[in-house]
Chains A and B, each alone.
Chain A
Amino acid sequence: MRRRLGELAQLIRSKNAGPFWLTFDVMFDDPEIYRQVRDQEVLSVERVAACYRQDPASVLVFAHDTALAIKVSFPRPVSSGSARDTDVFGGQQYAPLMDFTVDLSEATATRS
């Protein structure tokens, strides 16, 4: 059953990691949902890079099992607060990740 991360995650957020990087956290409270998102590589380097039109070589993706979180980081197009920046804190860059989908097993989908 296909479900959007926006419905499943406990929190999806973005933030500066210093003035030159953006970082995204997709955090779950259900270990089973986290595991399926991780194992299906829903947030793969290639998919994230395609979505944000970034060079895959500059995109980092991490799975953090204890935090039940997938983390994505890539350099900002322009540094925080500079002439063409649109989001000084980098806090509103995550919305496209809400539309990424995971194919949940029937048992997990009915639980969530």
Chain B
Amino acid sequence: MIGCDSGTTDFGPHLLATGRSHFSRASVKRDLGIMIEQARRTRIPVVIGSAGGAGSDSGVAWMSDIVREIADGLGLHFTLAQIHAEQSKHAIHELLAQGRVRALPRMEELTGEGIDSSLHMVAMMGAEPIQEALSRGADVVVAGRASDASIFAALPLLAGHDPALCWHAGKILECGAAAVVQRTAPDSMQAEMHASGVDIEPLRADYRCTPQSVASHTLYENADPFKLIEPSGVLDTLQTRYDAISDRAVRITGSRFHEAAEYTVKLEGARRIGYSTVIPGAIRDPLIINQLDAWLATLDGAITARLQQTLAPSDTYTIATRVYGRNGVMGELEPVSRVEGHEVMLLWDVISGSQELSHSIAAALTHMAVHNPIPEWHGLISGVAFPFAPSEIDRGPVYEFHLNHVLVPESPTALFPIEMTAV
């Protein structure tokens, strides 16, 4: 089979919130065209998971449309399975009422309000819905939100291979060539299933895998490097052996898979938190930089008071100030508190319930910031350098991930309806 993990939460919550893809239609069509053409030539299935980036219904529809266009262009005919992962508010309300929703650690229990404020919610399928589609004769599977590894584990599991090896192969394959020694550009990876092990080998001729590079991949994007949690259980790599079988291929043996007592699927959701206007501005005056906290506090007090009297009470907006040159990158995690450079950049982010209000607040902020006084200078100062005119940049709606919960479905396939069509 050929598989592809098309999704990620890495780019942020906007993909799920808006249903748009990060990558362009042209680039997805190019990659998918190669996969489908080669797979049909050799009569092997193609499995695409988390279609369109977030794996919502619009992503599945968008990707399926591209699949049909490719088939038309190449004169190919096959069976397409679309697996939906998007969840309606009604469905999640029902699961909540049935006690089938659990909060993950450090998360509050899901409420009706949490459901209702969602723009889109997706459940992350395991291998079973994909297996169902393959069993029903799918040549190309376009799945909504799916666990990364299940995209690749589904078929070998169906063929009866050791579940631990199927899941471990899936975890390696989901990032393509990421498990090679030195990945200079994105590329693909091959896994060959055997009775006692799985052999991992990069497809690009000048890439190579070593036991360390393959072992290291279980670290990637995973909080615990020895346990990978899947809907049906946990892949345990504590006793895994990684052996070189050539100068570029590695055999994995000894992984274990512990079946979960309860089958769970992760629920993801995104909601709009408001509309943002940002202002970049920079300071060069050492007198201001040396008392930056006091200067920012004065400005904050002044703008809050002014807005309270004019545009907006303080509970209708937020202003986040990032100070580049101090802790703009790390925020509250930054251990270095002093400012050492001779200039700093401020990035103000105003978020409120409408673009118009955010823009108005930002315009007031710009004006007040530039003249925000310090005791050393007498008279009206101009204390901020704005690199752009207009200085305020409207960013449109902004979002957040607000769900980090799991669902206990009635069956592994219950939440993931499958549509089979002849293309």
Binding site for B on A (CB under 8 A): 15-21, 23, 25, 27, 29, 51-53, 58, 60, 62, 64, 66-69, 71, 73, 75, 77, 79-89, 92-93, 95-96
* A80 x B13 contact (CB < 8 A): yes
Closest to B322 in A: A86
* B219 x A16 contact (CB < 8 A): no
Indicate if B159 sits at the interface (CB-CB under 8 A): no
The 6 A-B pairs at the shortest CB distance, nearest first, are namely A81-B12, A82-B400, A73-B223, A66-B215, A67-B216, A67-B215
* Residue with the highest number of chain A CB atoms closer than 10 Å, among B10, B212, B219, B225: B219
Closest to A80 in B: B12
Contacts of B318 in A (CB 8 A): 83
Contacts of B402 in A (CB 8 A): 79
Indicate if B328 sits at the interface (CB-CB under 8 A): yes
A16 CA / B220 CA spacing, docked (Å): 9
Closest to B217 in A: A67
A62 CA / B238 CA spacing, docked (Å): 11
A69 CA / B14 CA spacing, docked (Å): 33
A62 CA / B211 CA spacing, docked (Å): 19
* A64 x B225 contact (CB < 8 A): yes
* B333 x A62 contact (CB < 8 A): no
Contacts of B391 in A (CB 8 A): none
Which residue of B221, B274, B328, B335 is within 8 Å of A23 (Cβ)?
Answer: B221
* A83 x B225 contact (CB < 8 A): no
23 CB-based A-B contacts, threshold 8 Å: A16-B9, A18-B9, A19-B9, A20-B104, A23-B219, A25-B216, A25-B220, A27-B216, A52-B335, A64-B219, A64-B226, A67-B218, A71-B225, A77-B332, A80-B10, A81-B11, A83-B351, A85-B331, A86-B330, A88-B12, A92-B329, A93-B333, A96-B336
Indicate if B416 sits at the interface (CB-CB under 8 A): no
Contacts of A51 in B (CB 8 A): 335
* B349 x A93 contact (CB < 8 A): no
Contact A17/B216 with A58-B106, A77-B331 known, Cβ cut-off 8 Å? no
* B221 x A16 contact (CB < 8 A): yes
Which residue of A15, A66, A80 is within 8 Å of B211 (Cβ)?
Answer: A66
Contacts of A29 in B (CB 8 A): 212
Closest to A96 in B: B335
Contacts of B62 in A (CB 8 A): none
Indicate if B273 sits at the interface (CB-CB under 8 A): yes
Interface of A is mostly: loop
Q: Which of B232-251 contact A (CB under 8 A)?
A: 240, 242
Contacts of B327 in A (CB 8 A): 86
Minimum CB–CB distance from A27 to chain B (whole Å) comes to 6
* Residue with the highest number of chain B CB atoms closer than 10 Å, among A19, A27, A62: A19
Minimum CB–CB distance from A92 to chain B (whole Å) comes to 5
Contact A81/B224 with A25-B219, A86-B328, A92-B329 known, Cβ cut-off 8 Å? no
Contacts of A23 in B (CB 8 A): 219, 221-223
A53 CA / B333 CA spacing, docked (Å): 7
Minimum CB–CB distance from A64 to chain B (whole Å) comes to 5
Contact A81/B330 with A58-B106, A66-B242, A69-B219 known, Cβ cut-off 8 Å? no
Which residue of A17, A53, A83 is within 8 Å of B222 (Cβ)?
Answer: A17
Which residue of A20, A62, A75, A85 is within 8 Å of B225 (Cβ)?
Answer: A62
* B273 x A83 contact (CB < 8 A): yes
Contacts of B298 in A (CB 8 A): none
Contacts of A95 in B (CB 8 A): 330
Minimum CB–CB distance from A95 to chain B (whole Å) comes to 8
Contacts of A62 in B (CB 8 A): 224-226
* B221 x A19 contact (CB < 8 A): no
Closest to B333 in A: A52
Which residue of B104, B107, B224 is within 8 Å of A73 (Cβ)?
Answer: B224
Closest to A17 in B: B223
Minimum CB–CB distance from A16 to chain B (whole Å) comes to 6
Indicate if B354 sits at the interface (CB-CB under 8 A): no
* A88 x B221 contact (CB < 8 A): no
Closest to B329 in A: A92
Minimum CB–CB distance from B354 to chain A (whole Å) comes to 16
Contacts of A92 in B (CB 8 A): 329-330
Minimum CB–CB distance from A15 to chain B (whole Å) comes to 6
Which residue of A15, A20, A66, A69 is within 8 Å of B240 (Cβ)?
Answer: A66
Minimum CB–CB distance from A85 to chain B (whole Å) comes to 8
Which residue of B106, B221, B329, B399 is within 8 Å of A86 (Cβ)?
Answer: B329
A-B contact sample (8 more), CB < 8 A, given A27-B219, A69-B225: A16-B221, A19-B9, A64-B215, A80-B12, A80-B13, A83-B273, A86-B328, A87-B330
Minimum CB–CB distance from B395 to chain A (whole Å) comes to 12
Q: Which of B312-351 contact A (CB under 8 A)?
A: 318, 320, 322, 327-333, 335-336, 349, 351
Indicate if B404 sits at the interface (CB-CB under 8 A): yes
